[in-house]
Amino acid sequence: MTDTFGQRLRDALVERGPLCVGVDPHAELLGQWGLPDDATGLERFAQTVVEAVAGEVAAVKPQLAFFERHGAAGIAVLERTVAAAGAAGALVVLDAKRGDIGSTAAAYADAYLRPGAPLAADAVTVNPYLGFETLRPFLTLARDGVGVFVVALTSNPEGASVQRARAASGRSVAADVCSNVAAENAGTAPYGSVGVVVGAGQTGFGHGLDQAAGESLAVGGPLLVPGLGAQGGRADDVRRLCTGLREPVLPSVSRSVLAAGPDAAALRSAALRHRDDLLAVMPGG
């Protein structure tokens, strides 16, 4: 790859608009679609979502856990889902939130980001709370143009006890994560391949960071913003999050699109409504 992931994402956002659709086939949703809670139902679900939206939106985001719960057959479905979404032109962000140390972290990075690996995606989410440097195997691969989204600020209330705690630097832990991401992207142009995950609900807290103290979401790479729709996030929340940032911003929606299934046309229509709402309020929209 010659372009950074950040640049490829920016190009996709310009071409297809600012939306990522999650592929979250949890048991309740399979039932609502009239599908069995097994690998057969999983495949029909994932195939329908990909066929409905992957040709329309910038990215799709399979949630690894919902495939893993079906064992080896579920992982095989995930492989086919990743391949089909990429063939339709969507970037694939694998929502794994992996975080470990040493050879284990390297194995995870190899599984999800190494070109040619069966599960290789365009980007993966990772958890930095074993220490930022434990992410080095992922960050090293990001230099070759694949993407890494580092969890910084989540919307769940439990996250605050860690993410808003004060680090030795005097900044919040989340701000230190963002600072480390910015350092990884230094010298890349126009955007780096390492981004952050920031829940849409964080906008009620002044971007979730103390801006008066110089804490910033300007990391030189993309922002993945989950939580739209059923989780309470709105297009205006994303607009406020984007204010003053030049970085690519990828809002993500899952349940409020997936609830429109199993009809593919209804899924597509729900996704495009979210995309149009975001286009109306985001910078450049």
31-69 tens-digit pLDDT: 999 999 999 999 999 999 999 999 999 999 999 999 999
Of 196, 253, 200, whose CA–CA distance to 223 is shortest?
196
What per-residue confidence (pLDDT) applies to 156? 81
Q: Answer whether the bond into residue 251 is a cis peptide, omega within 30°.
A: no
Q: Is 97 a catalytic residue?
A: yes
Where does the pLDDT of residue 277 fall: very low under 50, low under 70, confident under 90, or very high at 90 and above?
A: very high
Where does the pLDDT of residue 87 fall: very low under 50, low under 70, confident under 90, or very high at 90 and above?
A: very high
What is the percentage of the chain residues whose pLDDT exceeds 90? 76
Of 136, 137, 98, 142, whose CA–CA distance to 122 is shortest?
142
What per-residue confidence (pLDDT) applies to 160? 80
Active-site residue, selected from the candidate residues 16, 97, 114, 255? 97
* Tally of CB atoms within 10 A around 117: 13
* d(C-alpha 94, C-alpha 29), whole Å: 20
- Across residues 85-92, what is the average pLDDT? 98
Of 163, 141, 146, 145, whose CA–CA distance to 154 is shortest?
163
Of 87-91, 176-180, 225-229, the one with minimum mean pLDDT is 225-229
Question: What are the structural domains, with CATH classification, of the chain?
Answer: 5-281 (3.20.20.70)
Mean of pLDDT over the chain: 91
Is pLDDT above 70 for 230?
no
Is pLDDT above 60 for 204?
no
176: Cα within 13 Å, side-chain hemisphere: 17
What per-residue confidence (pLDDT) applies to 1? 55
Q: Identify the top-confidence range among 10-19, 147-156, 170-179, 203-212.
A: 10-19
Q: Which residue has the tokens 């930095």?
A: 128
- Across residues 120-140, what is the average pLDDT? 97
Q: Which residue has the higher pLDDT, 55 or 211?
A: 55
